[in-house]
Chain A
Amino acid sequence: MNTGKNKGFFSKIPNAVWMVISVVTAFVLWTVIASTEAGGVVFAEPWEVGQQFVKALSNGSLWQHTSISLFRVLAGFGIGFVISIPVAFLMGWYAPFRNLVSPWIQFVRNIPPLAYIPLIIVGAGVGEQAKVIVIFIASFLVLVVTIYQGVLSVDVTLIKAAKVLGASDRDLFFKVVIPASTPYILTGARLGLSASLTTLVAAELTGASRGLGMMIQKASGYYDMSTVLMGILVIGVIGILFEKIVRFLERRLTGWQETISQ
């Protein structure tokens, strides 16, 4: 199926050009769908969304929504990140702790955030705290599960090698286990950031006056589909930016890894 000629042609296209092709195709599809009768109900035309974007940008409202949402995502993710590392390591190293905690994690992991939001509102009110908590829970769970895999994967002979060179438990943690699980920590960060964004809209259901999720919800009440689409696009772009940042860190921090394609 994959004839040599085809492969040669497509493999000559650089990644940046692929990116352009991909984006342009998406816009074309969008325009086509929006121009049909059924599609037009759901999808605003690209130029309408563009107009909305310029307006929201120039009156500052878009930045207000985006900045507060970014704050919530980064705060929730940040706390999740800092707490998940020691928890994952304790799980990996102390069986009693693992046996105690891991059923809880498995249990909460399958519950959609929307379901426990009422509890959080009752407990933490409708302020910033509640939103950060929802995002924290979502990213923490993903992080802890991924980093725990990393801890399990640390090569025992490396631990032994460090011990015979005089490493204390503290040295083992900071100089062996952390660097050895960096690839997993970064994968965890990628999944955790994405979980944070996915939960954002739910988190802002706890009642917010600002935020991208809230902006989308409010606009949908008025059938203002161009604002809804604009919100979706902004969240998507933030997601891609996060991804790029993690990629960059991976290149910087885990270049030592042996990979298959070299």
Chain B
Amino acid sequence: MAGNNLPVKVKIDNVVKKYSGRNGEMVALNGVSLDIHENEFVCVVGPSGCGKSTLLNIIAGLHEPTSGQVLVDGQAVSGPGPDRGVVFQQYALFPWLTVQKNVEFGLKLQGMAQDKAEQEAKKYIKMVDLEQFAQSYPKELSGGMKQRVAIARAYAINPKVLLMDEPFGALDAQTRTQLQTELLNTWEKEQKTCFFITHDVEEAIILAQRVIIMSARPGRIKEVVEISIPYPRTQETKMTKEFLDLKNHIWSQVYQEYLAIRK
């Protein structure tokens, strides 16, 4: 079951990831399979340490799976590429570059001319409301502002697939809502495929066509929940019975997994 009938964009095929550490082998992902369709919006929820970031890194081509594979447009992923934009959980801004230069970074690597890159970057900096901080260095920004720069930088190279690791985690409720709306607009208008990790169940339901619930370590897909609430979803959506039922269901599923870790 998928959120739409378009072709598969990202195929996660029985991915297993093991880390070898001091205490022997640790299974982070234990056979994860999922088809994400073109222009689909998927949110991933699950307890801390269940392998969400690991899965994102594998899709991005930054980690190799121990077995299994990820295909993008039918091609096995062998490394990172600008067709998959990433917003990292730890912002990962270049501290020696200004906000403006951080956002230009990817554009220049794509071979865009300086003045064109400057214009493009400005557009996205404006989108995240940081125009006054374009010439600031990351150390001069708050956590939420850094996160917004990371978002602008990922959007700027205009990737078909957006991989986002708790991108709105450090934001206040208002900015968060604004960026959620912005993201949904971009997603619809530019036909993006979104893979979005969050701890916030409400956020998952507001954004996603499907919510993937992951089980505690070793990470597996526990349940896939279809969200058929029509877009645009607003603050009022959060009051509907449908929304609240979904929220209760997903929340209790994640909570079970959380308890499983505590045991």
| A complexed with B | yes
Q: Considering the complex, which residues of chain B in the window 83-126 have a beta carbon less than 8 Å from any beta carbon of chain A? A: 84-86, 88, 90, 92-97, 105-106, 109-110
With A160-B88, A161-B92, A164-B80 given, name 11 new contacts (CB 8 A).
A161-B86, A162-B94, A162-B105, A163-B62, A164-B61, A165-B109, A166-B157, A179-B94, A256-B96, A258-B95, A258-B139
Of B92, B109, B153, which contacts A171 at CB under 8 A? B109
Q: A166-B109, A166-B110, A257-B139 are in contact. Are A161 and B88 (CB under 8 A)?
A: yes
CA distance in complex: A232, B57 (Å): 58
Q: How many residues of B contact A (CB 8 A)?
A: 28
Q: Is the CB of B95 within 8 A of A164?
A: no
* A258 proximity list for chain B (CB < 8 A): 95, 139
25 inter-chain pairs at a CB distance below 8 angstroms, sorted by A residue, are A155-B92, A157-B90, A157-B92, A158-B92, A160-B57, A160-B86, A160-B88, A161-B86, A161-B88, A161-B92, A161-B93, A161-B94, A163-B79, A164-B62, A164-B80, A164-B86, A171-B109, A176-B94, A180-B96, A254-B96, A255-B137, A256-B95, A256-B138, A257-B95, A258-B95
Q: Is the CB of B139 within 8 A of A166?
A: no
Q: Is the CB of B96 within 8 A of A157?
A: no
Q: Is the CB of B90 within 8 A of A164?
A: no
Chain B residue at minimal CB-CB distance from A255: B137
Of B62, B95, B153, which contacts A160 at CB under 8 A? B62
* B144 proximity list for chain A (CB < 8 A): none
Q: Considering the complex, which residues of chain B in the window 22-78 have a beta carbon less than 8 Å from any beta carbon of chain A? A: 57, 60-62
CA distance in complex: A180, B139 (Å): 14
Does any Cβ of B come within 8 Å of A191's Cβ? no
Chain B residue at minimal CB-CB distance from A258: B139
Chain B residue at minimal CB-CB distance from A157: B92
Interface residues of B (CB under 8 A from A): 57, 60-62, 79-82, 84-86, 88, 90, 92-97, 105-106, 109-110, 137-139, 153, 157
Q: Is the CB of B139 within 8 A of A164?
A: no
Contact digits for A138-180, partner B, Cβ 8 Å, 1 yes 0 no: 0000000000000000010110111111110001000110011
Q: How many residues of A contact B (CB 8 A)?
A: 22
Does any Cβ of B come within 8 Å of A129's Cβ? no
- Interface SS, A side: helix
Does any Cβ of B come within 8 Å of A182's Cβ? yes
* B62 proximity list for chain A (CB < 8 A): 160, 163-164
Of A155, A166, A176, which contacts B82 at CB under 8 A? A166
Q: Considering the complex, which residues of chain A in the window 240-262 have a beta carbon less than 8 Å from any beta carbon of chain B? A: 254-258
CA distance in complex: A161, B109 (Å): 12
CA distance in complex: A164, B60 (Å): 7
B148 to chain A, nearest CB (A): 15
B104 to chain A, nearest CB (A): 10
Q: Is the CB of B94 within 8 A of A166?
A: no
CA distance in complex: A6, B90 (Å): 44
Determine which residue in A163, A166, A179, A258 has the highest number of CB atoms from chain B within 10 A of its CB, and name it.
A166
Q: A157-B90, A158-B94 are in contact. Are A166 and B106 (CB under 8 A)?
A: yes
B23 to chain A, nearest CB (A): 21
CA distance in complex: A161, B106 (Å): 9
Determine which residue in A155, A165, A182 has the highest number of CB atoms from chain B within 10 A of its CB, and name it.
A165
Determine which residue in A160, A164, A171 has the highest number of CB atoms from chain B within 10 A of its CB, and name it.
A164
Contact digits for A10-53, partner B, Cβ 8 Å, 1 yes 0 no: 00000000000000000000000000000000000000000000
